Amino acid sequence: MAATTDYYEVLGVPRDASTEDIKKAYRRLARKLHPDINPDPEVQERFKEVTSAYEVLADPKKREMYDLGGDPLSAGGGAGGGFGQGFSFTDIMDAFFGGTAARGPRSRVRRGQDALVRLQVELAEAVFGATKELQIDTAVVCTVCSGQGTASGAQLVTCDTCGGQGEIKQVQRSFMGQVMTTRPCPQCHGFGSTNPNPCVECGGDGRVRTRRSLTIKIPAGVDSGTRIQLAGHGEVGPGGGPAGDLYVEIAIKPHPVFARDGDDLHCTLQLPMTAAALGTSVELETLDGKEIIEVRPGAQHGERIRLAARGVPKLRGTGRGDLFVHVEVQTPTKLDARQEELLRELSKLRGEEYVAGPGRVASQGNLFSRIRDAFKDGLN
């Protein structure tokens, strides 16, 4: 590219454009002209021209030289639209994709991972809340090296391959000229230093695994699947870095009497046929204590009795769910002669002659007339 080429005109920016405006202009043009998008030879030449203009104007020193009448690319042996000497391919990619990734050695100290444990609790503990002791296995800071990862008295050594930069650069030739690429140093793995004398306890990681006890408060109203977050109680990071979070997932054990449905509780009350017919009072041991259940005379199978605010507290909000007692009427399966006689007598007194018994034919009048009447009522 000749020294008289107007780089500002190539990028379409004014002479007082800021560095950010220059980067935006190059990014916009590069998206249209990049060889991977448009392989036309003329377009490729245009892309080289735009890239050379960006190389000059994005560098304050080169831009100053250009504004004074010089051509930094010609001085660096990059004339003719190629990349100037030392022009990094990473710089192009940063401008092209808008990257702002930091360069240099990686830190050995990093945040630890989150941990997840599952905790089984009783239904009563989920309803009223509880305090539980947990035993968890996680990574903690190595007490021998205090997270440094080095043996006592030892120090990290600057990597002699990358000179402490954590990355190495390679220059490759392509159809666009010389391209400089950067990759992590294979010797120090990008850290910029090596650890020739690692701690014998943690092997240089700065952390060890151990079992520790933890007290957790379970709020009232939790359900299976509820996760409780304990910030900073997860895995300690490499190099003794800050710990991640610990998540405790609740699993409620089955209860022998009560079943849970959201914030409501359900149980079944088995009643003999006579108790359901005559009505009765039953003492029920709920999670809140003993309750007297009043069963009305003539209670039917499947009927339910509601005990307000005897369910589960709402985890988010106020109030509690209800406790529903489902009546299950039990019909006797074995009758002695006297019991059968009494039931037959009762059926006659009630006009229920269709109750026949084994080996007898039921009188169909009452039974089928009731079914017929019920069917008519349903149609109406």
**Binding site feature residues:** 142, 145, 159, 162, 185, 188, 199, 202
Q: Between β-strands 130-141 and 246-252, what pairing exists: parallel, antiparallel or unpaired?
A: unpaired
Residue pair 366/351 in contact by the 8 Å Cβ criterion: yes
The alpha carbon dihedral of 134, 137, 139, 141 has a sign of positive
Q: Which amino acid is present at 238?
A: P
Q: Between β-strands 264-272 and 323-330, what pairing exists: parallel, antiparallel or unpaired?
A: parallel
What residues form the annotated binding site for Zn(2+)? 142, 145, 159, 162, 185, 188, 199, 202
- Among all chains, which residue has been given the structure tokens 């985890």? 315
- Among all chains, which residue has been given the structure tokens 């939790």? 222
Burial class of residue 322 (count of CB atoms within 10 Å of its CB; 0-12, 13-18, 19+):
middle
Cβ neighbours around 212 below 10 Å, total: 11
Residue pair 116/200 in contact by the 8 Å Cβ criterion: no
- Among all chains, which residue has been given the structure tokens 């060889």? 35
Residue pair 57/11 in contact by the 8 Å Cβ criterion: yes
Contacts with 352 (C-beta within 8 Å, 6 or more apart), sequence order: 366
Residue pair 167/183 in contact by the 8 Å Cβ criterion: yes
Q: 5, 1, 49, 44: which is closest to 26 by C-alpha?
A: 49
CA distance 112 to 378: 68
